[in-house]
Amino acid sequence: MRYREAGFDSMVNESSHLPRRVRRWSCAAFACAMVWCVPTAARAGQDGLVNPHEGSPAATRAGRALFATRCAECHGADAKGISGPDLTELWAVGSADQRTFQTIRAGISGSIMPSSAAPDDELWAIVTYLRSIGTASPVEFATGDADRGREIFQSNCARCHRVAGRGGRLGPELSRITVTRSRASLTQAIRDPGASMAVGYRTVTLVTRDGDEIRGVKKSADAFSVQVVDTDERLQGYLRADLRDVRDETSSLMPAFGVDRLSDGDLDDLLRFLASMREADAAP
């Protein structure tokens, strides 16, 4: 069954066939953690700074309001720059959440760009907002046939990826991926997914005390618990005390699409289709 933010009740019911000793939380508090109110969720692990609100519509709204009061006087209401520079192109070459966060936190010495002592959550909200309005050069994706690309996407990718709110949830939502990633980095992500795994979608295998193995993508982890979306797309929380092992894997759950499965022409069509979706509403 598909995991949906609103569908936690049915998830609880469907989970009853699993061993009782594996305690799980599929509750509303968990939905909350995925959205806005538990900032520790995505900060766990060795990943260093990770935007805990990536893609969240609530954070985007909060960030827009914060930006208007704290940053617009120098960077412009549309972030296209006044006395401070244009901030809409920060993501044009790969992901820059972390760097942008640190710039806003520290300011830029020797310039009028101030440092900020605001709570992490507020700064991440601003980062989330800036990323949502970011632009990468559409010229990079101007070739190819979007209609063919849509068909290729439906048959090869939609079972794991959403576009415009539809599709699977094992992998990240892709509506705005051509805004924040260059053509070269997207080509690598599709041809060789193991080369660098998207933050929040790293592969993990959990081994229960009974020896059952659960594979999925790790959403968060702390000293006591691990939260994963398993390969059936169910968001599940496990207590470490109930697990024999938690193995972080180096291979992606996404299959590699080499030229044998996806020709260069197909890839061109696919990227053209994804670029055509950049104005789509990414909300679930």
Q: By CB under 6 A, is residue 198 in contact with ligand HEC?
A: yes
Which of 177, 179, 214, 277 touches ligand HEC (CB under 6 A)?
177
130/114 Cα distance (integer angstroms): 17
CA atoms within 13 Å, Cβ hemisphere of 18: 21
Contacts from 98-105 at CB under 8 Å and sequence distance 24+?
A: 98/48, 98/49, 98/50, 98/51, 100/127, 100/130, 100/131, 101/49, 101/51, 101/127, 102/49
Q: By CB under 6 A, is residue 277 in contact with ligand HEC?
A: no
Q: How far is the CB of 253 from ligand HEC (least distance, A)?
A: 4
- Cβ proximity to ligand HEC: between 19 and 258 the closer is 258
Which of 25, 36, 49, 116 touches ligand HEC (CB under 6 A)?
116
Q: By CB under 6 A, is residue 275 in contact with ligand HEC?
A: no
Using alpha carbons, select from 190, 178, 197, 185 the residue that is nearest to residue 258.
Answer: 190
Q: By CB under 6 A, is residue 236 in contact with ligand HEC?
A: no
Q: By CB under 6 A, is residue 170 in contact with ligand HEC?
A: yes
Q: How far is the CB of 21 from ligand HEC (least distance, A)?
A: 28
Q: Burial code of 51-76, b = ≥16 C-beta within 10 A, e = fewer?
A: bbbbbbbebbebbbebbeebbbeebb
| Contact window for ligand HEC (CB under 6 A) among 28-36, 42-50, 113-121, 137-145 | 113-121
- Cβ proximity to ligand HEC: between 26 and 103 the closer is 103
244/247 Cα distance (integer angstroms): 10
Using alpha carbons, select from 15, 7, 22 the residue that is nearest to residue 206.
Answer: 22
| Contact residues for ligand HEC, defined by CB under 6 A | 70-71, 73-75, 83-85, 87, 100, 103-104, 108, 111-114, 116, 126, 156-157, 159-161, 170-172, 177, 186, 189-190, 193, 197-198, 201, 217, 252-255, 257, 262, 270
